[in-house]
Structure 1
Amino acid sequence: MRADLGKDPRDVSAMFDRVAARYDRTNTVLSVGNATLWRAATTKAVAPKRGEKILDVAAGTGTSSASLAKSGASVVAADFSPGMIDVGRRRQAHVSNLVFVEADAMNLPFGDDEFDAVTISFGLRNVKDPKQALREFLRVTKPGGRLVVCEFSHPPVRVIRAGYDFYQKVVMPPLVRMSSSNDDAYEYLNESINAWPDQAALAGWIREAGWADVAWRNLTAGVVALHRARKPLATV
């Protein structure tokens, strides 16, 4: 059964459970190899350091988390899909400084001011209340700590927008049928991308949640946007 854009957490979690086994392979195919570049850009933006504690939300199978863990930082991979976590724990079992936790982005099971950085890649648009999630990210981040959000967005140049629309409607469906175990899940994901706000609107949500120094840059001509922010230092 397909999860609709109402984003009931149980439906969306079950949807990701069904695609977990082939999720990474399908992402590589659908992104035409760009997923690796986006992950590298996100890791560089987070700038994890040995001794830090990093929270990777909507971590899925932990591919992004493992990239962060290479720095020597302690990484917590959080996801609300038990199926994704099961696959991730098996695939990343060799990464000693990475742990998986089943968690809801809107109600994180962590203490206040616990992490040096929080990041989420291609998951915020699947949260029922993204603004609440952004407030939760702020709560668990240390004062002065970092936020990095990597998410699909909207190319600002009209001709690129038109080309991307053609790719989504004409090229993507047969690729999904070849590489995915669940066509309906990727139809939902495609629709969720189109319904998602643009770069400036998401930056506004991040500021509203209490984050400071909010900025973004486009990746792949704006198909993806990388948003960055900091938690304000505590005031006396």
Structure 2
Amino acid sequence: MGILENKARARLFYKYLSKVYDQINPFIWNEEMRNDSLELFGIEEGDRVLDVGCGTGFATEGLLERTEKVYGLDQSEHQLEKAYEKFGKRDQVRFHRGDAERLPFADDAFDALWSSGSIEYWPNPVDALEEFRRVVKPGGPVLVVGPNYPRSGVFRKLADAIMLFYDEAEADRMFREAGYGEFRHVTMGPDYNPEIAITTIARVPGGADEAPGATAAEIVDAPADASADD
């Protein structure tokens, strides 16, 4: 397990990274990659979408171009403070501070779930993916963007020491263990490394004949500054 696959260390890391995150991020996760992922996501106006690991809100901005019903969740108060500056705490987006592995929302609360640049910090990715399946209505999309495993042996050792990097085979294992039957992977990246990221688009099992999902009033709406566990 990498040094940043620990919630307390990851929060400390982002305490300092948050100061320059929006300047650094475009070199790794840029607008073109976000737009390509949004096309894969395929949400529609009116869909209620949860952005897990929303950070300063880069992906959130793209989601708001597709639907007005966006919720954001992150464990870093410092990243969220940057997001509040852009959107407010409860205005365009309803933000929550919380844990991807224990989402503070009701079953079937969302039509879709997005998570980009977050899975690499989760100590138990399968637990988080199971939570995603729980809070999204049957048939809804779950999109996860994470760091693709380097091909070089030297870079693989370095990657393993820092955080979670994974390839398509490992993504297959995680999504299957989490209970998804339908999913596919797409690699993408900036010009200097077009396979730096691996994007998985999955569907929550079930369909239209399942029980209806939660209404807006039934969502467990935890305070935006609720504590994230270590």
Q: TM-score, normalised by structure 1?
A: 0.77
Percent identical pairs in the alignment equals 25
Aligned: 1:59 with 2:54: yes
Mapping of 1:203-222 within 5 angstroms?
Answer: 203-220=172-189, 221-222=194-195
Change (3 A) 1:13 1:124: same
Q: Paired residue for 1:68?
A: 63
Aligned: 1:198 with 2:193: no
Q: Paired residue for 1:20?
A: 18
Mapping of 1:6-17 within 5 angstroms?
Answer: 7-17=5-15
Letter in 2 for 1:19: L
Displacement, 1:73?
Answer: 3.5
Displacement, 1:94?
Answer: 10
Q: Deviations over 1:26-73 (max 9, x none)?
A: 122x43xx5222211222222221111001101100110121011134
Contact preservation (8 Å) 1:66, 1:98 = no
Letter in 1 for 2:170: A
SS of residue matched to 1:143: coil
Change (3 A) 1:191 1:44: farther
Mapping of 1:66-105 within 5 angstroms?
Answer: 66-93=61-88, 96-105=91-100
RMSD of aligned alpha carbons: 2.9
Displacement, 1:88?
Answer: 0.5
4+ runs of 1 displaced by more than 6 Å? none
Change (3 A) 1:190 1:85: farther
Q: Which has the higher helix share?
A: 1
Unaligned runs of 5+ residues in structure 1 are: 156-160, 169-186
Q: Paired residue for 1:232?
A: 205
SS of residue matched to 1:125: helix
In 2, Cα distance between equivalents of 1:99 and 1:49: 19
Contact preservation (8 Å) 1:113, 1:140 = yes
In 1, Cα distance between equivalents of 2:48 and 2:92: 10
Displacement, 1:190?
Answer: 8.5
In 1, Cα distance between equivalents of 2:140 and 2:64: 17
Contact preservation (8 Å) 2:146, 2:165 = no
Letter in 2 for 1:134: L
Letter in 1 for 2:72: A
Contact preservation (8 Å) 1:68, 1:75 = yes
Q: TM-score, normalised by structure 2?
A: 0.79
Further displaced range: 40-49 or 139-148: 40-49
Change (3 A) 1:35 1:20: same
SS of residue matched to 1:60: coil
SS of residue matched to 1:106: coil
Unaligned runs of 5+ residues in structure 2 are: 211-230
Higher relative contact order (CA 8 A, sep 6+): 2
Q: Paired residue for 2:115?
A: 120
Change (3 A) 1:46 1:96: farther
Change (3 A) 1:6 1:217: closer
